[in-house]
Amino acid sequence: MSGYLQVSTATATRDEAVQLAGSAVSAGLAAGAQVVGPVISVFWHEGRYGEGEEWQVLLKTTERRYSELEAYLLDNHSWGNPEVSAVPITAGSAGYLEWLDRTTKG
């Protein structure tokens, strides 16, 4: 088994979030994804303070597939510099982690 990650990004609309999640999963870059929202984001952008409503996308993948997933999200996102970040999944049930491995073999 390899390392496991939860990768996150955010979009301006629910439709874009669902499309990104679905296409990444269909491509085998992530085993599954969840769309959460809307959420309120507070941020600095181009030197200005901002607040806005966004839809968060949480994708489950392996370290082995991360670079492909990152490139896919960056290439298919409507924003020029979207958040794409990952945190390790440090523990999980054996069946769940096996499923992550199996479904991201691509």
Say how many residues make up the chain: 106
Q: How would residue 1 be classed by pLDDT, with cut points 50, 70 and 90? A: very low
Q: For residue 88, which phi and psi values (nearest 5 degrees)?
A: -70, 145
Are the beta carbons of 76 and 27 closer than 8 angstroms? no
Question: Which CATH number do you get for residue 57?
Answer: 3.30.70.120
What does the pLDDT look like over 2-32, one tens digit per residue? 699 999 999 999 999 999 999 999 999 999 9
Question: How many separate domains does the chain show?
Answer: 1
What does the pLDDT look like over 35-51, one tens digit per residue? 999 999 999 988 999 99
- Domain encompassing residue 62: 4-103
Beta strands in the chain (DSSP E): 4-11, 32-45, 48-62, 85-88
Per residue in 68-98, is it b (16+ CB within 10 Å) or e — as a string?
A: bbbebbeeebeeeebbbebeebeeeeeeebe
